[in-house]
Amino acid sequence: MAVSVNKVYQTVLRLCNKEKRGFLTPKEFNLFADTAQMDIFEQYFFDLSQHKRRSGNSTEHADPRDIIEDKISHFQVPAFGANASPTSNFGDVIISAAFPDLYRITQVRALSQAQNKFYVAEEVTLQAMSSLENSKKTTFDEKFPIYAKYDINGQRIRIRPNPPIQSNSVAISYIRRPYRPKWTYVIVADRPYYNASAADHQDFELHSSEYNNLVNKILMMAGVTIGNQAIAQAAAAEDNKSIQQEKL
């Protein structure tokens, strides 16, 4: 269940205006809301890595690793068949063009012309790929392909052996970015009023349990903007407390 953008907005606004020390505009809120959501979303992957190094919890619904993986699962985009195409004889696929909402690749499969079948590719570094290509004992083929990410943002991949230059000869599964939250409104008598029916309205996509975390993170940014350090410090303390509890 998603978090209502209006519920978070009204809570933040009430807390910011409690002492009448400043006003948070809808534009500022939407900017902070997106930043807060991405902070929490990206933290999932750091926390998951940390919990993977620990032993699990056999209690049902209590294993932190399972909880985080469940939160991430909402953003998983499976490849139903093939959904990408190489752009050259080098086996390159431009990820940013094919998947503009991509956050992290979870699986790459390449088409084998000989077998007319897709096979899962193993991820390696570009350096390792180069070494394997120049090795006398090649450890990859159409049944055991490899791929490597390259460029600054990892927005391209290279596959070996080269998949056929044809449409949809590569299948990519990935985790997408959350949609940008947006509190939409109409102006009446110089005041903004919530308009949930706007075409660009968007709730937070995070799990409902993240409500307090979203409020705290937005308050931290809002407190700095409106010059209320008390709000920022109180929100930061609550945010740190929440982080520590989740890591236990």
Q: 19-67, pLDDT tens digit by residue?
A: 555 678 999 999 999 999 999 999 999 998 887 766 555 555 567 888 9
Nearest to 107 by CA among 54, 175, 52, 46: 175
Tell me, yes or no, whether 171 and 85 share the same domain: yes
pLDDT at 64: 84
Percentage with pLDDT > 70 across the chain? 82
Looking at the fold, whether 168 and 187 belong to one and the same domain comes out as no
As given in the structure block, the two tokens for residue 234 are 């109180």
Q: What is the pTM of this model?
A: 0.81
171, 201: one domain? no
- Does the pLDDT value for residue 232 go beyond 60? no
Question: Does residue 67 share a domain with residue 29?
Answer: yes
The long-range contacts involving 152-157, CB below 8 angstroms and separated by at least 24 positions, are 153/96, 154/95, 155/94, 155/95, 155/96, 156/92, 156/93, 156/94, 156/95, 156/96, 157/92, 157/93, 157/95, 157/105, 157/108
- Supply the mean pLDDT for the chain: 84
Flag whether pLDDT at 148 surpasses 70: yes
Are 156 and 84 within one domain? yes
Mean pLDDT of 130-137: 85
Closest Cα partner for 168 from 77, 80, 104? 80
**Least confident interval from 5-14, 140-149, 226-235:** 226-235
User: Under a CB-based contact definition with an 8 Å cutoff, are residues 211 and 13 in contact?
Assistant: no
| Domain boundaries, position 68 | 5-73+179-247
Domain count, the chain: 2
Could you tell me if 88 and 106 lie in one domain? yes
Rounding to the nearest 10 degrees, give the CA dihedral for residues 75, 80, 82, 84: -20
**Do 155 and 103 have their domain in common?**
yes
Identify the domain boundary among 176, 198, 228: 176
Q: Which of 142, 176, 210 is the last residue of a domain?
A: 176
Express as a percent the part of the chain with pLDDT over 90: 51
**Nearest one of 122, 93, 90, 94 to 109, comparing CA atoms:** 122
221 has pLDDT over 80 = yes
Q: Are residues 69 and 12 in the same domain?
A: yes
Q: Judge contact between 181 and 214, C-beta under 8 A.
A: no
Where a domain ends, among 115, 146, 176? 176
Q: Does 95 have pLDDT greater than 60? A: yes
The rounded distance, in Å, linking the Cα atoms of 1 and 206 is 8
Residues 69 and 183 in one domain: yes
- pLDDT the model gives residue 85: 86
For 178-213, what is each residue's pLDDT tens digit?
A: 999 999 999 999 899 999 999 999 999 999 999 999
Say yes or no: 129 and 207 in one domain. Answer: no
The pLDDT of 133-143, averaged and rounded, is 84
Predicted pLDDT at 35: 96
d(CA 161, CA 140): 7
Residues 45 and 106 in one domain: no
3-state SS, 124-169, equals CCHHHHHHHHHCCCCCCECCECEEEEECCCCCEEEEECCCCCCCCC
